[in-house]
Amino acid sequence: MSVRVLVADDQALVRAGLSGIVTAAPGFTVVGEAGTGSAAVDLARRERPDVVLMDIRMPDMDGLEATRLITGAGGPPAVPGVRVLILTTFDLDEYVYDALRGGASGFLLKDTPPAELLTAIRVVAAGDALIAPSVTRRLIAEFAARPTTGAGRPPHGPDPLGAVTAREREVLTLIAEGCTNVEIARRLHITEGTTKTHVGHLLSKLGARDRVQLVIIAYRSGLARAH
């Protein structure tokens, strides 16, 4: 089934370029383009894309507020089934922290090669999450150290990982290191299916939306540390 994508960017040339990349690839469909945040929200509600490629700096309503409205982190109900992948110019853009708190499933740099962009869209559409590899650890470590009441907050209580088994802690540690399910399975000598089961249990037990939030929880709990 085709992955349905909405492209949101205030620059017409950028929108056209992104739409061209997505449209030219087998298995992808562009369902709309938006030049403002409010237009992105309206289109997301109407078209129900699998993934919104969201620019941060846009007129009328910026990509951060649009993301919160689409994911439900801003108060109103979320648009069901729609995930947001932030595209940013800078690898440590301050806005990225707010985007993660706002429920984004990750972010990529705008200079990401087309093939990697398409892979990221598929990853996010499948319910996973992705952050630009060049900044994953330092970004998450910095983000996790900041006080927040938003996305990725671990459950209240003396030990947020109290209900997590020893094996699940191993899986969570490897997730925090940026490992894929295939890599986790290889390193722990388990099947990929078993890995997916452990990840599902972690998402449920920790109340996390996706892998981004699992990584944040791993850092906040002290299970993972910046290198």
More confident residue, 172 or 155: 172
Q: Which residues lie across from 187 on neighbouring strands?
A: none
Domains of the chain, CATH where assigned = 3-134 (3.40.50.2300), 146-220 (1.10.10.10)
Quick one: tokens of 180? 């894929």
In the chain, helix, strand, coil percent, each to 5? 45, 15, 40
pLDDT score of 181: 85
Given a contact cutoff of 8 angstroms between Cβ atoms, the answer to whether 116 and 133 are in contact is: no
Q: Which of 23-37, 67-81, 202-216 has the highest mean pLDDT?
A: 23-37
Q: Give residue-wise pLDDT tens across range 103-160.
A: 888 778 888 899 989 988 998 888 776 666 555 555 666 666 665 544 444 444 557 7
Both tokens of residue 49?
A: 């894309």
Lowest mean per-residue pLDDT among 6-20, 82-96, 129-143, 163-177: 129-143
Instruction: Please give the full DSSP string across 49-98, using - where no structure is assigned.
Output: -SEEEEES--SSS-HHHHHHHHHTTTSSPP-TT-EEEEEESSTT-THHHH
| DSSP at 149 | S
**Residue range 74-93, pLDDT digits in tens:** 666 788 889 999 987 765 55
pTM value is: 0.72
Q: Please give the residue that has the higher pLDDT: either 14 or 208.
A: 14
Check residues 183 and 99 and name the one with the higher pLDDT: 183
Q: What is the pLDDT of residue 213?
A: 78
Amino acid at the residue 102: G
